[in-house]
Amino acid sequence: MGSSKNLGVGPVATSSLLVASIVGGKVRASDDPRLYTQLVFTSAFFTGVLQAALGFLRLGILVDFMSRPAITGFMGGTAVVIMLQQLKGLLGMTHFTTKTDVVSVLRFVFHNTHLWQWQSTVLGVCFLVFLVITEQVRRRRPKLFWVSAMSPLLVVIVGCVFSFLIKGHKHGIPIVGTLKRGINPSSISQLKFQSEYVGVAMKAGFVSGMLALAEGVAVGRSFATMKNERIDGNKEMVAFGLMTLIGSFPSCYIPTGAFSKTAVNYHAGCRTAMSNAVMSVCMALVLLALAPLFRYTPLVALAAIITSSMLGLIKHREIRCLYKVDKADFAVCAAALLGVVFSTMITGLGIAVAISVLRALLHVARPATSKLGRVPGGGGADDTFRDVAQYPGAVTTPGVLVLQVGSPIYFANAEYLRERIARWVEDEERIAGDDRGEDLLYVVLDIGGVTAIDSPGIEMLREVHGKLERKGIKMAVTNPRMEVAEKLVLSGFAELVGESWMFLSNGDAIAACQYTLQGSKHGGGVPPV
């Protein structure tokens, strides 16, 4: 039902660990595995409801608040947390801390060195080096992507054979153990909607669902760009939501668009979403027939596979680029990463989203205003008016101040814009009086970039007009959009300014100001409409 042709869906580490963290805060898997899995299925149900509702209501904009820098930092922090958790398998430890922050994990590891198994460590290092080398081969020779794709399976096979031959579980190499064959049973009757559990299930479902949605849509868009295709975010939300909602009935938990699966799909030359159906059939065959063969899989092999895959989630080049290009984006990324690593995933994600929203609000509440001048050699066309701060050679007209507002005018920024316009006028009056010995007679307000305006915004313009009029300065308005122009007419502001002082372009407005100024010197004259 989605619009992406490349996306490979399934469980991913970030969503999995997030669900485990939230649900584990209510009930530990080791204490009550049945209730734990029931809450996981219930959280998947709520995730599906949320994602499908967002898609049907076309509220994809909510996902955009999880900016790319926030996701980059969150995924990097999560990768660090997951790698720290793999120390249990890499060191062959039988017990491990339930905490996820870096300080608690490292303190536990180094305070329990007597639990380390050197056999697991040696085997894990060998596996990890092999996986990293195959990944480097894929990066340098993209056509050999299958080497990296097959390496985890090869590690599992080699680990199983090695562990079976030397009886690894008796020599410091813990194994997975018995795996049940077959498909998981229905979980419809196991969903927990009691008041005691519904809160934690909704929290896990909504938080991880938003993250999974943002990650899946981002991955789909990234690969669609490579093929010059378009992704419909709302359709993707509906597809993710129904997939997760229905999946919660046959014992599935939260999936999303996995980057690694999608990359394999893309490089293998997939053309449609049927690749996911083929993937599902293969997984079903493994569960039905091959599951017992993985009994001797050493835990250290799985730890090495997970660790190597997590290394690719730490986008150090992208983080360095954010630092060079935009310090605010870097702050969002760093907040998410450090929040996850030193506290919890919820904390890191919450801080990153809060900073992103605050930044967006600041852009709305503090819009840019600029003084315009005509760029020489433009032939008098309106599109040659540019910001004088950016183009110092731009020519201004004596007695005329051209100001540009480049954002919607709302109650949140009306007061700020009133002060900015007043400051521009005061500065121009001082410059005109000191340098040219002339008075400021006209203020041309270019609102072509104002896509919307509300009643407080119109009232602000009315007050600015009145203040200018008391100073003997005439206001002109140029290039209003249709939606804005309708409100200016209906509110009476257009009549207050005078329809003859509303123009299509800045060039027309300046010509009218000069015509009126010349007419007043010769005893009359009105501006052309």
* Ramachandran region, residue 170 (left: φ > 0; alpha: ψ -120 to 50; beta: rest): alpha
CATH 3.30.750.24 domain extents, the chain: 367-521
Q: Give me the CATH code for the 367-521 domain, please.
A: 3.30.750.24
Give the pLDDT confidence score for residue 524 in this predicted structure: 52
Q: Which residue has the tokens 């050679």?
A: 393
pLDDT tens for each residue of 414-427: 999 999 999 999 99
Give me the mean pLDDT over the 436-465 stretch.
90
Give the pLDDT confidence score for residue 111 in this predicted structure: 93
Percent of the chain residues past pLDDT 90, beyond the cut: 43
The yes-or-no verdict on residue 171 having pLDDT over 70 is yes
The yes-or-no verdict on residue 52 having pLDDT over 90 is yes
pLDDT tens for each residue of 76-92: 888 888 889 899 999 99
Give the pLDDT confidence score for residue 382 in this predicted structure: 46
The yes-or-no verdict on residue 243 having pLDDT over 90 is yes
Using a CB cutoff of 8 Å and minimum separation of 24, what contacts does 233-237 make? 233/60, 233/63, 234/54, 234/55, 234/58, 234/60, 235/1, 235/2, 235/3, 235/55, 236/2, 236/3, 236/4, 236/55, 237/51, 237/52, 237/54, 237/55, 237/60, 237/63, 237/213
Confidence of residue 437 (pLDDT cuts 50, 70, 90): low
Q: Which of 79-93, 343-357, 386-400 has the lowest mean pLDDT?
A: 343-357
Give the pLDDT confidence score for residue 526 in this predicted structure: 52
Question: SS3 for 520?
Answer: helix
**DSSP label at residue 60:** T
Using alpha carbons, select from 168, 94, 97 the residue that is nearest to residue 127. Answer: 168
Give the pLDDT confidence score for residue 18 in this predicted structure: 84
Give the pLDDT confidence score for residue 378 in this predicted structure: 54
Give me the mean pLDDT over the 42-61 stretch.
90
Give me the mean pLDDT over the 21-37 stretch.
89
Q: Which of 360-364, 414-418, 470-474 has the lowest mean pLDDT?
A: 360-364
Give the pLDDT confidence score for residue 523 in this predicted structure: 53
The yes-or-no verdict on residue 264 having pLDDT over 80 is no
The yes-or-no verdict on residue 482 having pLDDT over 90 is yes
C-alpha–C-alpha distance, residues 75 and 258, integer Å: 12
